[in-house]
Amino acid sequence: MMVLCLDFGNSQLKYAWVEADHIVDFGILSDSNFESISQICQNKALDSIILSSVIDVPLELINALKNLAPFHQLSSSSLTQVDYSNYDKSTLGVDRICIAEGAQTLFPTSNHLSICLGTCITYNWIVDGSFKGGAISPGLMMRTKSMHDYTAHLPLISPQMDFPLLGQTTSSNLLAGIMHGILLEIQGYILALRKQDPEIVILMCGGDAPYFAPRLEDSAIHFENDLIWKGLAALAHLNLGL
């Protein structure tokens, strides 16, 4: 079964074709018009469509997608493998529901923490299949831009793969503070949860994960670039009865 997964985020409109839990193709849409989506559907055996969006989606697009194939728009009322009986799922962004579902699909018998480094950094903690809690903090570009925007003289810097522990110029001070601030935050959450649960599985995904993966010298951390797609595909099967 070929599932078209659409992920409309704050920064990008992404898509992936998933068949039998394998990512067949993926990319970025130029806009949210139906014409852009219909173009990527050419020569594809489309069985269903699932949409996760944290932005407003035009009703015209929703209706067009419904006419194209069996369609589901992810919401807090969607069926999930993850149990939210101890958490108000209506307050949880659909992007985090996707990530939690992907982690549960990959590790159904383990407790796990999923860390996604996107516009914001999110943490999803699941114990015995139940969503236990999480956290949200500013993402890499948000931190970079905010220190420039909310001060008179601090420059706007660009993230770099190689960054110092402590800088010797204003720019390198900013780089050190932003990059190590995120790195130490991630390491702190991992350390704190491992003290409670030494066997917890740690997963990481998101567009900014490559900046920090080389610094997290931990073979037990699973870097899952396709975590959100695996979650969306699993949610499509569950909610569309595939």
Catalytic residues: 95
The answer to the question of whether 119 is labelled as a binding residue is yes
163: enclosing H helix or E strand: none
The answer to the question of whether 67 is labelled as a binding residue is no
The answer to the question of whether 14 is labelled as a binding residue is yes
The answer to the question of whether 30 is labelled as a binding residue is no
How far from 81 is each of 99, 169, 175, 200, 236, CA to CA, in Å? 12, 49, 40, 19, 12
Q: 3-class SS at 17? A: strand
85: enclosing H helix or E strand: none
Tokens of 40: 């990527």
The answer to the question of whether 80 is labelled as a binding residue is no
The answer to the question of whether 10 is labelled as a binding residue is yes
CA proximity to 208, closest of 96, 137, 117: 117
Give the chain's end-to-end CA distance (angstroms, integer). Answer: 8
The answer to the question of whether 105 is labelled as a binding residue is no
The answer to the question of whether 8 is labelled as a binding residue is yes
The answer to the question of whether 143 is labelled as a binding residue is no
The answer to whether 124 and 102 have CB atoms below 8 angstroms apart is: no
The answer to the question of whether 94 is labelled as a binding residue is yes
Which is it for the CA torsion 25, 28, 33, 39, positive or negative? negative
User: Which residues sit in the known binding site for substrate?
Assistant: 84, 93-96, 170
User: Which residues sit in the known binding site?
Assistant: 7-14, 84, 93-96, 119, 170
User: Which residues sit in the known binding site for ATP?
Assistant: 7-14, 119
